[in-house]
Structure 1
Amino acid sequence: MQFFILAMLMAFNTSSSFAEEMRYPAGEEPVELPAHNSLNAQLPRSVHSLEDKKTEAMSLYLTLMREDERNIWAPYQLAASSAEKGQTELAERYLQLSAKRGLWYYYNLLEDSAFNSIQQGNTYRSILATTKARHQQYASQFEGKAYYTVPSGDPPSGGWPTVIYLHAYGQAAAINPEARLLFAAAGVAYIELNGTQMLAEKSFRWSNYSDESTQSAIQRALKTLTPALKLNSNQVFLTARGQGALHAANLMAKYPQFYAGALLIAPNGEISPVQHSLAENKRIMIAYYDRQNFNAQALALHFADLFDEKNQVETEHFAQTDEELGGWHKRFNQPLLWMIGKASHASPEA
């Protein structure tokens, strides 16, 4: 029964608070299928109004909350929905229940606009403080955590060239077998970092407020891994997607002494893009997609112009997403080789 309820919940956009759980930077939102897409025929149009869906979802949350006494998210969603309706006492009661069950989703609670009506109250402030403490205790072991793979055998003179990957919003570091083979064949060490702000299990973001925590996380990882893995500190390259790419672009512009090149895939996010670059003589590739909105595409072109004057810059525009072609590793194998100086051109696979 519990699994059925969870599946049903995923079918509804129940409220603005539910949307807040999956907050995407502009341009990273899931895109609806075109009207002519054949897959649309498999998705019958709902006969229910939005309010009907909200009511049905509330009922499912209530059932889940009763059947699973450890579930944190169900009472949280009920609290958010109640707060939106102006039901302050009920909202605080459900939020207290979520907190009693161990609520630690600090950024969700801090930034969820559904709770605007109760944010000045003692109950909310007390729960927020408790949630922050739990978050810090639990998430600190995962935020900015590095995962890595290095080729077998002895490193070249000077150490392994190193590629660092910053993931998109809401994702986590995870090195799959395909990536291990790809980077081993390229003769480089490969490092993925979790974002510096943990949102939920296996869901991270980079700071919405500054890129400095990202720079610190990268340098902490390199300080530990460079001697342990015999990395070449003069050959560290940034690769990144989405929100991670915006941070990587800013870091390349501000701290070029640390990075030898960059592959920036659909940069986007909340922090402000830098307006001046110190980078010189770097190989930088920037990619963007038709699916992105005008502002997102303009941001990619902003960085292309910013870096173009004193660096080797390649810009690519794609109609299809990476996932449609089997993942970003497959599409960007050639650009990666170009970035690290092992290929004469950057043109990726179509």
Structure 2
Amino acid sequence: MYFFILALLLALFTRPLLAAEMRYPAGEEPIELPAHSPLNTQLPRTAQSHEDKKIEAMSLYLTLMREDERNVWAPYQLAASSAEKGQTELAERYLQLSANRGLWYYYTLLEDDAFNSIQHRATYRSILAATKARYLQHAHLFEGKASYAIPKGAPPSGGWPTVVFLHGYGKGANISPEERLLFSEMGVAYIEINGTQMLSENSFRWSNYSEESTQSAIQQALRPQEELKLNPQKIYLTARGQGALHAANLLSRYPQFYAGAMLIAPNGGIKPAQQSLAARKKVVVAYYDRQNFSDQALALHFANLFSENNQVETLHFPQGENAEGGWQARFKRPLQWVLNQAPDATPGA
């Protein structure tokens, strides 16, 4: 029953907060179905106004809230919707219910514009403080947490070359069996790190204010170098979306820690570096036509920034990855070039 309700909510509810959450960073959009797929068939749809959909969504949230006494998200959404309508007391009542059930999504509550009208009130401030306390207690177990894939056997002289991956907004560290095999075959250690700010279960971001916490998280993940037999002179950054913006800034500011980088569709809120200390590095910068103009311009900015004193390859694709143009098909060889394992960065398996 709960899964059915949640499925309907995802289809019906169009509040701006959720719309923002469903925006995928460039290059990370869901795979498009083939044109002939029966799932692409458009079913007849009855005319339904935006307000009708919101009313139906609220009805479903009310049902979910009653049937699942531990659910924090249903009363939260009802609170947000009530606040947007100016129903202050009702908004505070639902938000308090969400807090009583254990709301800990601190950044979601802090940055949700729906609550602008009640942010000055004592009830909201009290709930925000309690949410922050629960967040700090829970999230520190997962923020910046690293996952490792180390090749079997003896490392080369000096230790394993190491690839550190910084995910895009809303993602998390999750090394797949295919990735373990890929990097093992390439003869490199592979590390994925959760973002430094936790949004919800298995969803993280990097700071919107500075790359410093990202640098600290990477160095923390690299601390067991001797135990894992990692080569500190051969640490390479790979990154997507928001993670790529952080990686680019880190390479420009702390080139002594990193031997090269592959930056895929950088975007995000922190200020991009305007000067670079990096020299004698190999850098790949990739972007897509499907990105907006400012994001494409950001990728080209970094390609130009690193072009002085470094070897830079700029890759341009008409659209994001799909079944025919996935990670290995596009980025294996460019990464091997960064790692000095291939003569050029031409995309291809």
Q: Same fold (TM over 0.5)?
A: yes
How far does residue 214 in structure 1 lie from its aligned partner after superposition? 0.4
Paired residue for 1:237? 236
Q: Cα deviation per residue 1:90-131 (whole Å; 9 max; x = unaligned)? A: 000000000000000000000000000010111111110111
Paired residue for 1:97? 97
How many residue pairs get aligned? The number is: 347
Q: Cα deviation per residue 1:312-350 (whole Å; 9 max; x = unaligned)? A: 000011123224436324421101111111111011128
How far does residue 3 in structure 1 lie from its aligned partner after superposition? 1.7
Question: Quick one: distance in 2 between partners of 1:25 and 1:147?
Answer: 23
TM-score scaled by structure 2? 0.94
Question: Quick one: distance in 2 between partners of 1:46 and 1:270?
Answer: 39
Question: Quick one: distance in 2 between partners of 1:92 and 1:347?
Answer: 56
Question: Quick one: distance in 2 between partners of 1:131 and 1:165?
Answer: 30
Moved over 4 A (4+): 23-33, 36-41, 43-46
How far does residue 4 in structure 1 lie from its aligned partner after superposition? 1.1
Paired residue for 2:188? 188
Question: Quick one: distance in 2 between partners of 1:60 and 1:262?
Answer: 47
**Structure 1 stretches of 5 or more lacking a match?**
none
Paired residue for 1:133? 133
- 8 Å CA contact retained: 2:26, 2:320: no
Paired residue for 1:281? 280
Counterpart amino acid of residue 116 in structure 1: N
Paired residue for 2:148? 148
2:71 aligned with 1:85: no
Question: Quick one: distance in 1 between partners of 2:314 and 2:259?
Answer: 18
Paired residue for 1:346? 345
Paired residue for 2:17? 17
How far does residue 24 in structure 1 lie from its aligned partner after superposition? 4.7
Question: Quick one: distance in 2 between partners of 1:214 and 1:102?
Answer: 28
Question: Quick one: distance in 2 between partners of 1:329 and 1:141?
Answer: 32
Question: Quick one: distance in 2 between partners of 1:328 and 1:114?
Answer: 37
Change (3 A) 1:251 1:122: same
Counterpart amino acid of residue 335 in structure 1: P
- 8 Å CA contact retained: 1:169, 1:205: yes
Q: Cα deviation per residue 1:131-177 (whole Å; 9 max; x = unaligned)? A: 11111111101000000111111111111100000001101101111
Change (3 A) 1:343 1:28: closer
Paired residue for 1:159? 159
2:326 aligned with 1:317: no
TM-score scaled by structure 1? 0.94
1:326-341 to 2 correspondences below 5 Å: 327-341=326-340
Change (3 A) 1:318 1:27: closer
SS of 2:77's equivalent in the other structure is helix
SS of 1:104's equivalent in the other structure is coil
Paired residue for 1:207? 207
Counterpart amino acid of residue 137 in structure 1: Q
Question: Quick one: distance in 1 between partners of 2:267 and 2:98?
Answer: 32
**Structure 2 stretches of 5 or more lacking a match?**
none
Paired residue for 1:120? 120
Give the alignment's Cα RMSD to 1 decimal.
2.1
- 8 Å CA contact retained: 2:25, 2:241: no
Q: Which moved more, 1:108-117 or 1:319-328?
A: 319-328
Question: Quick one: distance in 2 between partners of 1:157 and 1:27?
Answer: 38
SS of 2:12's equivalent in the other structure is coil
SS of 1:63's equivalent in the other structure is helix
